[in-house]
């Protein structure tokens, strides 16, 4: 759960030595009493919520730096960088109109924020050539974001893509393990 946020919009205050370090300007809103680490967590949480839960494609422009680098290869046919994130968000929203990303953990230190999440939605339109199944599917993942200047500048991530493909019928299900007496795995 995010910390309580107090928002003020002082008029004509500008950079005043009495208030330096007590507030920071982010997106035209002053966040009072938050550390840089807390602000970075807010940026990541807002980006994920806006893009993947609300389907707001403008989140890419608001939260990702123009020089954003995604250190993980995108899905086939999806470009790198900001456009890749935008297209992935569009693709997921089209195939799963009720797609949402639920935050399990958000851990931050300095300029890095780690997001542990589970996303889910109902498969109602084609995805990667697969006809809709009508089933709810789940995607677990962990992302590491680096923040600089109030924007996300880098991402490293690991998503359970195999699990998602199995739920969609695009990859074989794991074989059941053979068990011996008392439920122990057979040698």
pLDDT for position 57: 93
Whether residue 108 sits in one domain with residue 29 = no
The residues, any chain, with a CB within 8 Å of residue 103's CB and separated by 6 or more, are 45, 48, 115, 116, 117
Taking 60 as the threshold, does the pLDDT of residue 28 lie above it? no
When the pLDDT of each residue in the chain is averaged and rounded to a whole number, the result is 82
Taking 60 as the threshold, does the pLDDT of residue 178 lie above it? no
Whether residue 142 sits in one domain with residue 68 = yes
pTM for this entry: 0.75
Determine, yes or no, domain membership for 46. Answer: yes
Determine, yes or no, domain membership for 178. Answer: no
Confidence of residue 96 (pLDDT cuts 50, 70, 90): very high
Q: Please classify residue 59 by burial: count the beta carbons closer than 10 Å to its beta carbon, then call 0-12 exposed, 13-18 middle and 19+ buried.
A: buried
From the CB of residue 118, how many other CB atoms can be counted at a distance below 10 Å? 14
Q: Six-digit token pair at 170?
A: 């695009």
DSSP string, 132-149: P---EEEEEEEEEEEEET
Taking 90 as the threshold, does the pLDDT of residue 68 lie above it? yes
Give the chain's domain count.
2
Measured in degrees and rounded to the nearest 5, phi and psi for residue 67 equal: -95, 20
The residues, any chain, with a CB within 8 Å of residue 114's CB and separated by 6 or more, are 105, 106, 107, 108, 142, 143, 144, 145
Whether residue 136 sits in one domain with residue 48 = yes
Whether residue 81 sits in one domain with residue 1 = no
Confidence of residue 31 (pLDDT cuts 50, 70, 90): low
Mean pLDDT of 40-52: 96
DSSP bridge pairs for 148: 151
Alpha-carbon distance 155 to 143, whole Å?
7
Taking 90 as the threshold, does the pLDDT of residue 9 lie above it? no
Whether residue 7 sits in one domain with residue 61 = no
Whether residue 96 sits in one domain with residue 6 = no
Confidence of residue 150 (pLDDT cuts 50, 70, 90): very high
pLDDT for position 170: 84
Mean pLDDT of 146-158: 97
Domain carrying residue 14: 1-34
Alpha-carbon distance 45 to 137, whole Å?
22
Whether residue 96 sits in one domain with residue 26 = no
- Who has greater pLDDT, 10 or 117? 117
Determine, yes or no, domain membership for 100. Answer: yes
Determine, yes or no, domain membership for 45. Answer: yes
Determine, yes or no, domain membership for 180. Answer: no
Confidence of residue 23 (pLDDT cuts 50, 70, 90): very low
Whether residue 58 sits in one domain with residue 5 = no
Determine, yes or no, domain membership for 155. Answer: yes
Whether residue 101 sits in one domain with residue 29 = no
Instruction: Give the CATH number for residue 149.
Output: 3.10.450.50
pLDDT digits (tens, 9 = 90+) for 113-139: 999 999 999 999 998 788 999 999 999
Alpha-carbon distance 150 to 24, whole Å?
10
Whether residue 39 sits in one domain with residue 9 = no
Q: Which of 60, 42, 64 is nearest to 51 (CA)?
A: 60
Is the CB of residue 102 less than 8 Å from the CB of residue 29?
A: no
Determine, yes or no, domain membership for 161. Answer: yes
Alpha-carbon distance 8 to 121, whole Å?
36
- For the chain, what percent of residues have pLDDT higher than 70? 76
Whether residue 113 sits in one domain with residue 42 = yes
Residue with tokens 């020089």: 67
Confidence of residue 6 (pLDDT cuts 50, 70, 90): very low
Determine, yes or no, domain membership for 82. Answer: yes
Whether residue 162 sits in one domain with residue 125 = yes
């Amino acid at each position: 759960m995010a910390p309580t946020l107090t928002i003020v919009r002082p008029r004509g205050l500008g950079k005043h030595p009495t208030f330096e370090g007590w507030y920071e300007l982010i997106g035209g809103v002053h966040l009072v009493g938050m550390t840089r680490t807390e602000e970075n967590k807010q940026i990541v949480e807002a980006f994920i919520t806006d893009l993947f839960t609300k389907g707001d494609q403008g989140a890419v422009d608001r939260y990702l730096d123009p020089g954003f680098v995604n250190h993980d290869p995108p899905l086939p046919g999806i470009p790198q960088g900001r456009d890749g994130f935008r297209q992935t968000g569009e693709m997921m929203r089209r195939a799963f109109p009720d797609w949402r990303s639920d935050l399990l953990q958000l851990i931050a230190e300095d300029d890095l924020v780690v997001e542990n999440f589970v996303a889910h939605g109902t498969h109602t339109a084609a995805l990667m050539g697969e006809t809709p199944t009508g089933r709810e599917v789940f995607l677990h993942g962990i992302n590491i974001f680096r923040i600089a200047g109030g924007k996300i500048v880098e991402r490293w991530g690991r998503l359970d893509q195999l699990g998602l493909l199995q739920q969609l019928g695009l990859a074989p299900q794991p074989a059941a393990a053979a068990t011996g007496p008392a439920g122990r795995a057979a040698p």
